Amino acid sequence: MITVASVPAGHPYVAAVVDPNSVVLLPDPTPPGVTEPDRWWPPRLLDPAYLSTQLGSFDLLHVHFGFDATPPETLAEVAALLDRSGIPLIVTVHDLENPHFLDQTEHHRRLGVLLAAASAVVTLTEGAAREIEHRWRKNSVVLPHPNVVPLEEIGAPRVHREPVVAIHAKGLRANIDPWPVLDALMAPPLTGRHLRLDLDESALASARADEVSDQRLSAYRAAGVDVRVHPRFSDAELSGYLGDIDVLVLPYRFGTHSGWVEACRDAGVRAVVPDCGHLHEQHLFPVYRYDRAGLDTAGLVRAVEVAIDQASQPPSISGAVLREHREHQRNWVRRQMTQVYSRSLAREVVA
């Protein structure tokens, strides 16, 4: 068995890619005195002082995400400590562009430090792998994102209805700009469609809270949009949400990959994805142009019309076939990830 310390460990993606038959995944270490177990804390494994006390308790360190608050200089200390100890560093690049920041300078510095020290690099799409090779001269193992929806729920029958077109603005993080997209969906030729806008309550306390005025939301409601402001969805609530909608438009001006694309695929929802990053490589969903320069309104309308038409048709494959495909894919990804770990450990032994 290979013992892996992961940053983070308690995340659905990480659980999906780790084979419990060959890998022991250590739990996330929590700071002393923590009384809010669900709150995010800076990863202790990226604190050199703490990490130095844990050497010998794991075979390798795998960094996925959560290093936003760690200075590049500290990451370099972590990398040097691992190198001196003969412990491989594995890095999965989920985000070439960090969706939480407008300025990507520090994110790219952090990635540069991690990738320079990595024994192996993993990413989710061929396009992202090409970017990593171009920017940092590192080869990547490409492993597709496994299922997000639990296997037993994949391919569940869907309600036949007039398609509901939804936008989820989450907490209005930096890369999300729902207002031009929603305005375009309310105009001809899509006027009269069932539109839904969701916002996490955290948006009301965010740096962009002024955008969520009562006047704006009331105007949308008066125009017929089903506007809902609520706490962030639990896993069960997310499944219910995906059952209540038929088309989900992702209003991202920049980004790289998205777990929501995977969730839509699993739940039978048609996603409409922007052409930024490599979301369009994850699955064959309609694409529109939306970036820092602006929105291609006509392209958005065409993509949504295609998605509505697709949502109105019977699924192209049965739920059982999709479920089986996703299970086989997850198991294959797990085997490949174990091989990444084994090869990295073998190189350390030879060195």
Q: How big is the CA angle at 20 (ends 14 and 21), to the nearest 5 degrees?
A: 150
Q: pTM of whole model > 0.75?
A: yes
Q: What's the pLDDT tens digit per position in 70-117?
A: 999 999 999 999 999 999 999 999 999 999 999 999 999 999 999 999
pLDDT surpassing 80 at residue 204: yes
Beta carbons of 232 and 200 less than 8 angstroms apart: yes
Query: Measured in whole angstroms, how far is the alpha carbon of residue 291 from the centre of its chain?
Result: 18
Domain with CATH 3.40.50.2000 in the chain: 2-147+328-350, 156-312
Q: What's the pLDDT tens digit per position in 227-261?
A: 999 999 988 899 999 999 999 999 999 999 999 99
Q: Is 301 strand, coil or helix?
A: helix
- The pLDDT assigned to 293 comes to 84
In CATH, which of 3.40.50.2000, 3.30.70.920, 1.20.1540.10, 3.60.21.10 is domain 2-147+328-350?
Answer: 3.40.50.2000
CATH 3.40.50.2000 fits 156-312, yes or no: yes
Q: What's the pLDDT tens digit per position in 23-76?
A: 999 998 887 766 665 666 678 999 999 999 999 899 999 999 999 989 999 999
Rounded CA separation 131/333 (Å): 21
